[in-house]
Amino acid sequence: MTQTRSITCIVCPLGCKISVKMLENGGCLAAGNGCKNGGLYAETEMTNPVRMLTTTISVRNGAIERLPVRTDKAVSKSKIPEYLQTIKRIKVEAPIKMGEVIGWKLLDTDVCVIAAKNIDRFS
């Protein structure tokens, strides 16, 4: 049994409409993608959709209240609430450098959390 789905690619702002056909062998056939990345996106989207996760966490003794953070790679969409919960529990204190890894191996995966901003210590 094959099924065809129509999805919108989110890799770049063009947002190509891709029609994906699931094949019996577990693979898929994508049509309508404007580039190779779109094809790859279509495949993951069918099997294990992933998303980049960004949020903010509180900083102790920082010149500003909140530290924007991001995962270093896209994470499994279905697990986003759990990832968020874990990230929110991370405690950081200023000074913080952009790019600093502040959380490792979330939920027993190789996903890390990176500080997305420099924050000086509160003076």
Q: Which is nearer to other proteins, 13 or 26 (CB)?
A: 13
Q: Output the six-digit token pair for 118.
A: 């420099």
Q: Which is nearer to other proteins, 4 or 85 (CB)?
A: 85
Residue 88 CB, nearest approach to other proteins (Å): 4
Q: Which is nearer to other proteins, 23 or 60 (CB)?
A: 60
> Footprint of other proteins on this chain (CB under 8 A)?
7-13, 15, 17, 51-52, 54-58, 64-66, 68, 70, 77, 80, 84, 88, 98, 116-118
Residues 48 and 30 sit within 8 Å (Cβ to Cβ): no
Residue 24 CB, nearest approach to other proteins (Å): 27
Q: Which is nearer to other proteins, 26 or 54 (CB)?
A: 54
Residue 29 CB, nearest approach to other proteins (Å): 20
